[in-house]
Amino acid sequence: MKETAATDVSKDASPRRSHPGLRALPTALLLALIVILTVPAGLLIAPAFVGPPPAAVPETPAWQQAPTALSARQGLSPLQDSAPVPLGSAVTAQLDSALKPDGGGTFTGLVQDALTGQVLFDRGGPENRIPASNMKLLTAVAALRAMGPGHRFSTRVLAGPSPDQVVLAGGGDVLLGAGGSAPDQVMGHAGLASLAAATVAALKDSQPAGGLKVLVDDSLFSGPSLNPAWEQGDVAAGEVAPLFPIALNSARFDPAVTTGPRPQDSAITAGEAFAAQLKAAGFAAGLTVAPGVERYSPGGTGGAAAEALPVVLAEVRSATVSEQVDLMLQSSDNYLAEVLGRMASAASGGPASNEGATVAVRARLEELGIPTAGMSLADVSGLALANQVSARQFAEVVRAITTGPDTRLRAALDGFPVAGLTGTLDERYSGEATVRGAGLVRAKTGTLNSVIALSGYVVDADGRLLVFSFIGNGLTPGAAGNREALDRAATALAACGCR
């Protein structure tokens, strides 16, 4: 376009039409002048032919661009030994004003630095107290040490003593589901429908003509199925139920309904559910199932039943002990706690009974070097009022879980309810006095009629890991201020820059 414009102008600048004053200029100078005048004109004219220049593309901000690398990990930084330890006097000043009962009763408590064990607050820490469901922390430690975090319980179907019988043998899984196995769940991880389908497949070449009879072997547990230390009112209300080594939904009729009455014979209930699934699975294969479910007890030999029936037709396996411990702590499930205590005893060579469970819990604590002198254990769920454990002992247990030498116990950390978010703390820490602890306090709760407890851990404002246990006994039943007192105390620890 510049060349065309230059040509047009040069034609117009012929000698006959040029300005008189330009005639005397040398030819070379005249041409240079023409070029000087022509180029700007061409620049002005060109846009009319080619359009406006393209708009500049703004540079995309970095935050809008696709990432080229993983972002830095968010959350708490790793704990450092160099984080300052709070002053005991400052911690005491904070907690003394928070731990006040609403009405009658008293609070005891103890706070320790998790890494060093240094005591930062002690109000009657060594005194025995009724701990309520804080007992489940002791049971968690015993289960993880005796069986290991990855252990699973098996529920098996064995060939019966006659060709027309099968035996459903309980192996400690009380979280069975009635439907198919759900591998991504804890409750219902092993399902009776899957077990029934596998049983039908195993029997396809040996189907009895007169129908198959289901027997239930629940002989793994010994001793009374109901602890005499439990209040009958608690049993009637569904806080616990007679214990068996096999159950659906932790001995609940519906896994979504965690209150109210429970099955009083969870083994037979599970056997009936299995028989129904077996009937449904066997229909297409022509397998019939006889009505009714009976217990298998060959001559009263108890635990010898499984050895007397070595042929395994089918098997399903539970969620891991670690996952079950976490569920127990999050939901404070008394039935599951008692079963895990019995299974810890069995794994240690003891009887799968209430007495065996309490002995196993005490023994595992002593192995960790936690003093058990003066401790009295009537059960392992905390439902019994005869339990006696000190805040000092609970703080030491939490310390063993968080920073102790047995790293298997770290598996219990996910089970601690998180203030305002999960488990039995999900609806707490929303008030003005406690909201600063939401998301920061991680602790096991405990509540009975005149008892309230909270034991757990926090990382304080300076990055120091602290463990604590607060226990109230003899409290005024139903007084709302007692729960808030515990939550205020834990919140104060989380916000503490107590130097």
- What is the full DSSP assignment across 44-99? HHHHHHH-SPPPPPPPPPGGGSPPSSPPPPPSPPPP-TTSPPPPHHHHHHHHHHH-
Confirm whether 266 is a catalytic residue: no
Position 1 pLDDT exceeds 70: no
| Nearest residue to 112 via CA among 466, 480, 493 | 466
What does the longest C-alpha to C-alpha distance in the chain come to? 140
Confirm whether 133 is a catalytic residue: yes
Instruction: State pLDDT tens for residues 227-247.
Output: 999 999 999 999 999 999 999
Confirm whether 322 is a catalytic residue: no
pLDDT band at 67 (very low <50, low <70, confident <90, very high): low
Query: What confidence score (pLDDT) does residue 43 get?
Result: 43
* Encoded tokens for 289: 């199932």
Task: Give buried/exposed letters for 76-105 (b at 16+ CB in 10 A, else e).
Answer: eeeeeeebebbebeebbebbeebbebbeeb
Q: Where in the chain is the domain with CATH 3.40.710.10?
A: 88-148+325-333+349-494
pLDDT band at 209 (very low <50, low <70, confident <90, very high): low
- Phi and psi angles of residue 316, each rounded to the nearest 5 degrees, phi first: -130, 150
* Cα(398)–Cα(112) distance, integer angstroms: 10
Task: Give buried/exposed letters for 286-316 (b at 16+ CB in 10 A, else e).
Answer: ebebbeebeebeeeeeeeebbeebeeebbbb
Is 400:478 a contact under the CB 8 Å cutoff? no
Mean pLDDT, the chain, rounded, equals 87
Name the percent of the chain lying above pLDDT 90.
Answer: 75
pLDDT band at 28 (very low <50, low <70, confident <90, very high): very low
The pTM of the full predicted model, rounded to 2 decimals, is 0.83
Mean pLDDT of 316-324: 98
Query: What confidence score (pLDDT) does residue 285 get?
Result: 83
Position 8 pLDDT exceeds 60: no
Q: What share of the chain is helix, strand, coil (3-state, %, to 5)?
A: 40, 15, 45
Between 228 and 285, the higher pLDDT residue:
228
Position 75 pLDDT exceeds 90: no
Between 457 and 309, the higher pLDDT residue:
457
Position 352 pLDDT exceeds 90: yes
| Nearest residue to 346 via CA among 321, 327, 326, 381 | 321
pLDDT band at 204 (very low <50, low <70, confident <90, very high): confident
411, 416, 421, 427: CA torsion to nearest 10: 150
Is 468:110 a contact under the CB 8 Å cutoff? yes
Position 356 pLDDT exceeds 90: yes
pLDDT band at 454 (very low <50, low <70, confident <90, very high): very high
Query: What confidence score (pLDDT) does residue 7 get?
Result: 35
Position 333 pLDDT exceeds 50: yes
pLDDT band at 11 (very low <50, low <70, confident <90, very high): very low
Query: What confidence score (pLDDT) does residue 64 get?
Result: 52
Q: To 10 degrees, what angle do helices 88-98 and 480-494 make?
A: 160
pLDDT band at 498 (very low <50, low <70, confident <90, very high): confident
| Nearest residue to 158 via CA among 370, 6, 308, 268 | 308
Query: What confidence score (pLDDT) does residue 297 get?
Result: 77
Architecture of domain 88-148+325-333+349-494: 3-Layer(aba) Sandwich (3.40)
Query: What confidence score (pLDDT) does residue 19 get?
Result: 42
Burial of 214 (0-12, 13-18, 19+ CB in 10 A): buried
* Cα(88)–Cα(91) distance, integer angstroms: 5
Position 321 pLDDT exceeds 90: yes
Q: Give 119's strand partners.
A: 112
Q: Which of 7-11, 49-53, 104-108, 458-462 has the lowest mean pLDDT?
A: 7-11
Burial of 416 (0-12, 13-18, 19+ CB in 10 A): buried
- Phi and psi angles of residue 32, each rounded to the nearest 5 degrees, phi first: -65, -40
Between 55 and 407, the higher pLDDT residue:
407
Query: Of these residues, 322, 332, 450, 455, which one is catalytic?
Result: 332
3-state secondary structure at position 492: helix
* Cα(341)–Cα(337) distance, integer angstroms: 6
Q: Which of 120-124, 161-165, 344-348 has the lowest mean pLDDT?
A: 161-165
Q: Write the CA distances from 69 to 49, 188, 464, integer angstroms.
A: 46, 39, 31
Mean pLDDT of 67-88: 67
* Cα(328)–Cα(18) distance, integer angstroms: 105
Name the percent of the chain lying above pLDDT 70.
Answer: 81
Q: Which of 20-34, 89-103, 426-440 has the lowest mean pLDDT?
A: 20-34
